[in-house]
A and B are shown apart, each in its own frame.
Chain A
Amino acid sequence: MTVATLPQTAPVPAVHRRRPRSLVVGSVVVAATLVVPLVFLLLQAIQVGWAELSKLLFRHLTATLLWNTVRLSVVVTAASAVIGTAAAWFVERTDLPGRRVWAVLVVIPVAIPDFVVSFGWVSVAPSLHGFGAAVLVMTLAVYPLVYLPVAASFRGADPGQEEVARGLGLGRTRTFVRVTLAQARPAVLGGCLLVALALLAEYGAFEILRYQTFTTEIFTEFQVGFDAPAACALSIVLVLLGLVLLTADGLGRGGGRMSRSGPQVARVRQPRRLGRATVPVFAGFVLLVALALGVPFGTLVYWLVQGGRTTLPAAASLSSAAWHSAGYSAGAAALATAAALPVALLSVRHPGRMTMALERSTFLVLALPGVVIALALVFFSERYAAFLYQHSALLIVAYAILFFPLALVAVRASVAQAPTGLEEMARALGSKPWSVLWRVTLRLVAPGLAAAFCLVFLSAVTELTSTLILVPTGAQTLATQFWAYTTNLSYGAAAPYATLMVIIAVIPSYLLGRWFNRLPVNAATPT
């Protein structure tokens, strides 16, 4: 959703300050909790046994799923990289008419759940399914994940470097390739990673488009076929794919750091004149926004109007679903934010090898799709904590684990901005460490905590996969109720749930976008 870039090589600690024990203990507990799903997945695999696992894995189905998942990921990631980078460049660097409006419009799709986008497309064109449909719908749903970090990097990049390159005799095109794109490379790679991980984890959109991937198959095996061993075997492959992506990303960004020379002056940049290209580029933006925003919003409005005459759901059911969604999501947001605080404080305030390893381990969660986390927690509760099975606490914990990296990025950014000098000052003035945390640190990072809460909240409200598995019996959230109606093809009845979900998600997204734009570019990135 934002620049969730992964940690890079560990810097040599500048100051060997002692790490407060409470922070270390807190962070270790958080990191341990985050790897719990992975541990349970392995436990379950051991229980199933190698013979059974290999029988489940080495069959034609696995090859098909691998081919489907990989080719989709490659094509959608490439398409998103091109669309996201190009859109960011036109909005940030050229005199495209209406740039401010476009800057908002092209980002909004990120707040629409992917399964709502594909619902929109399928209700427009019921015959839409298969690979091509999946590429089209997913690209339109996820390209903002590339756009956001790349636009931020274009905004923050040092304009002097381009001018120097021109001065050294490089033409416009070569300057663009060798300087502009090179500056944006880490952002593009970071965005691509987010896109690929989102594709691995997606369930709802592919189910609607009848496109089979690992995630959809795991879900079906578990929820429909009640075949836990098969789900477990496929989950292992899926997690391995995620780990491969994380590793590749780590290697890919290893070479060369971007730096800017001189003070952080906000120099006014002369936008590039588009001239005769204005009309085609403008038309391109109109088309992009029409497809990515117009189709899902248009269909929602259409069904709301249609549904008004036929099958409008009971208002009571709508408000009860909204209530459940909000309650679970708020619980998860509070939990994830609280968990992110010690890790962020430790990693920013007390950098070092051990701290870095700890922080990185929390990013392993990125390789765990919601379906895997949910399965692992079900396995856990069935075996060790039956009282938790079907309990809302389990769903809240699943959300908190799933969206922890988002919370960490937001909290970390504001901790990095809060000067350490102020905490030392408070100590010198006689405050005990806990009192400093309360009187100074928390006040300074409050905006980051609020942002983390919003990010997790809106992500949880629109989460479908693990919600379907973990939601307590009898309770419905906006997402599950929408899903129930959609799978019955009662689009008119489903539309109000999707609309409410989008409204709840879009407003905080917009506010968050503004907040992140005000941050210095690198504050959000772990060093």
Chain B
Amino acid sequence: MTRLVATDLYKAFGSQSVLTGIELTVPEGSLTAILGPSGSGKTTLLRVLAGFERCDRGVISLGGRVVEDGRRYLPPEERGIGYVPQEGALFPHLTVEKNIAFGLSRQERRDGRVARLAEMVGLGNLTGRYPHQLSGGQQQRVALARALAIEPEVVLLDEPFSSLDAGLRASVRADVQRVLREAGTTALLVTHDQDEALSMSDFVAVIRDGRIGQTGTPQELYEHPVDPDMAEFLGDANLIRGSVDSAVASTPLGTFPLRSGSTPVAKPTSAVILVRPEQVEIRPGRAAHGLAARVVESEFHGHDAVMRVLPDASSGLGAIVARTDGALALAPGTEVTVTARGPVLAWPDA
């Protein structure tokens, strides 16, 4: 069952194309994140879905109903979407209670829904306040309650946490996730923060240059990026040149089994191989087994440490990033031995 389907969406502003053939499906009851760098067209996509902008081409359907298909265009007020923008956009002239009730009919206002929603987002005792009397996090919660009040087909969240400071962000995120689950609402979240996308959502759609590059669960995306660019976009990546043959990848770092799902090859072929930093192991000193290298940078994070090491010139490799236990952090200049654990992902040259 799907709540929201967008097919072949195109949108340009003047001569500048922003969306170039978006394909997107949001399953019922899921929290799906649209992840993309700034300028990738993700906010425009959300605005087109909401009906604030018209698309040039393509079909959008919400809850089985076509809301836009090039000829037909349903204005935002008839789409039944709950929109939560970046800054919350609460009506400054209305109290929390009246903000939440804004989209409701006279009858609906009296059925206790407003109080229930205020309670649900944890602001049951602040319904008489005005927006300027609330903190940033509280404002976001009110914005969410207001969006949920109209029992929307889907809630669209446009970078809702980016204006909050780091400490507040985590707790507001968790609250929003909880409330969306409790309400059983389908939600689409736009963000440029990969941590946020990977940790909060059921599905992630990565948008690149106006197109969806890949869709999947966070784990699928991290383990099976479709191409090296995608691998680098989602998390840190070491992309190493090597070769593959049947189910084995050979690199100067060693020989590894291929991940299931890698493109099978019949004869030895040169390839780009992905080794995630947490697959890299670093030991101080020189050992017989492994690659000799020297630490060039070391960032200590407490629970873990990220080091950049430069292998000896003879290996032909550039710098490698490794993530290790914080206790194992080494000072720059230290001589080390680098090894790695498989399985790895490989993209054979075409």
Contact = CB atoms under 8 A, between A and B. Distances in A.
Interface of A: 12, 14-18, 419, 421-422, 424-432, 439-440, 443-444
A449 B331 CA distance: 66
A17 B79 CA distance: 18
Interface string B31-64: 0000000000000000000111110000000000
A422 B76 contact: no
A20 to B, nearest CB: 11
A425 B83 CA distance: 7
Given A17-B53, A421-B87, A430 B150 contact: yes
Given A425-B83, A427-B75, A428-B83, A419 B89 contact: yes
A429 B150 contact: yes
B14 A16 contact: yes
Contacts of B103: 429-431
Contacts of B80: 430
Interface string B67-99: 000000001111111110101010111000000
Nearest to B87: A421
Given A16-B13, A17-B53, A421-B87, A428 B81 contact: yes
Nearest to A444: B93
A238 to B, nearest CB: 43
A428 B50 contact: yes
B146 A429 contact: yes
Nearest to A419: B89
Contacts of B146: 429
B256 interface: no
Contacts of A439: 102
Contact of B92 (A426, A428, A444): A444
Would you list the 6 A-B pairs with minimal beta carbon distance, nearest first?
A429-B103, A428-B83, A427-B76, A421-B89, A443-B93, A430-B77
A424 B14 contact: no
A445 to B, nearest CB: 11
B85 A425 contact: yes
Interface of B: 13-14, 50-54, 75-83, 85, 87, 89, 91-93, 102-103, 146-147, 150
B83 A15 contact: no
Contact of B85 (A12, A421, A432, A443): A421
A16 B13 CA distance: 7
A520 to B, nearest CB: 16
A201 B80 CA distance: 56
B77 A15 contact: no
A425 B76 CA distance: 9
Nearest to A427: B76
A414 to B, nearest CB: 13
5 contacts: A424-B85, A428-B83, A428-B147, A429-B147, A430-B103
Given A425-B85, A444-B93, 10 more contacts: A424-B52, A424-B76, A424-B85, A425-B91, A427-B52, A427-B75, A428-B77, A428-B82, A430-B78, A431-B103
Nearest to A426: B102
B270 to A, nearest CB: 47
A431 B51 CA distance: 13
Contacts of A16: 13-14
A290 B333 CA distance: 78
Contacts of A443: 91, 93
A425 B146 CA distance: 10
Contacts of B89: 419, 421-422, 424-425
Most buried by B among A18, A421, A428, A439: A428
A98 B150 CA distance: 56
Contacts of B75: 427
A429 B51 CA distance: 12
A428 B93 contact: no
Contacts of A15: 13, 53
> A425, A426, A430, A432: which has the most chain B beta carbons within 10 Å?
A425
Contacts of B78: 430
B43 to A, nearest CB: 12
Contacts of B51: 427-428
A14 B83 CA distance: 22
